[in-house]
Amino acid sequence: MKRIALVGGAGQMGQALAEGLGAQSDLAVDFLVDVHVPRELFGARHVGAIDDLDPDDVDVVVDFSVPEGVVASSRWCATHHVALVIGTTGLTTEQRQEVERTATEVGVVMASNFSLGAVLSERFAAIAAPYFDGAEIIELHHERKVDAPSGTSMATARAIAHARAAAGLAPILDPTQRHTVAGARGADAVDGVRIHSVRLAGLVAHQEIHFGAPGEGLTIRHDSFDRQSFVPGVALAVRAIDATPRFVDGISSLLA
């Protein structure tokens, strides 16, 4: 039985994970770490800060909080040799470097998306990328998401660009010559792969990957309609990681 401390346990994602992970027979969510009092405890204890935890009571810290919280979790886990799973996005370069330093002391999994369907759609996009002239991504999230574009769309754009480069293809050129409204063509994420971000109430997490070539197109779409869709991927990461130092970037490598 792996014992979990869930950082960000009062948030919507934290509450979904507390319920979903706690239902797994081999996992136990013993602590919800958050400055706010969680709406539901799901059998766990509420702790205001990670420094209030006893490391002897925790096997894995799961962090779905804010970038600053990730830094605190990383330092605590490195000091106490407790494994770390990170789902928080929007980290700066310096914050990511902090995470990578932690991975020299203890096992760390960091992923922009823990939905198995989202991970597979990224894999499918990399397969398709060399066969089309252009690719654009539309990512759609709820109105409370504070960062744009999403970490998932950035990871997908990098996967597409890498696959195209490996096939000897040049970066994608944008034929647009006049912009009536600045930003209408989205953001050039990497090598001409553009991302368009949508934020609307009622959405959870959705992504469309559009490929085009003369006479045809291909669209790969993934939808998370409920935050429980992320539970299997987080559970996979928790089961896979331990205190042995290593850095796992994304959960794709954990899929059979």
Estimate to the nearest angstrom the gap between the alpha carbon of 178 and the chain centroid.
Answer: 35
Tokens matching residue 77: 């886990």
Tokens matching residue 9: 């346990």
Q: Would you call 46 a catalytic residue per the annotation?
A: no
Give CA torsion, residues 128, 117, 241, 5, to 10 deg: 140
Are 59 and 3 a contacting pair, CB within 8 Å? yes
Q: Would you call 145 a catalytic residue per the annotation?
A: yes
Q: Is the dihedral of CA 69, 187, 157, 170 positive or negative?
A: negative
Give the C-alpha distances (Å, rounded to integers) separating 82 from 44, 61, 68, 223.
19, 7, 19, 33
Residue 53, helix vs strand vs coil: coil
Q: Catalytic one among 141, 196, 206, 222?
A: 141
Tokens matching residue 31: 């602590």
CA–CA gap between residue 132 and residue 89 (Å, rounded)? 29
Q: Catalytic one among 46, 145, 162, 210?
A: 145
- Residue 57: CB atoms within 10 A of its CB come to 12
Measured at the CA of 1, the angle between CA 101 and CA 49, to 5 degrees, comes to 50
Burial profile 237-254: b = 16 or more Cβ within 10 angstroms, e = fewer: bbeebbeeeeebbbbbeb
Residue found by looking up tokens 């490598």 in the block: 253
Q: Which residues are catalytic?
A: 141, 145
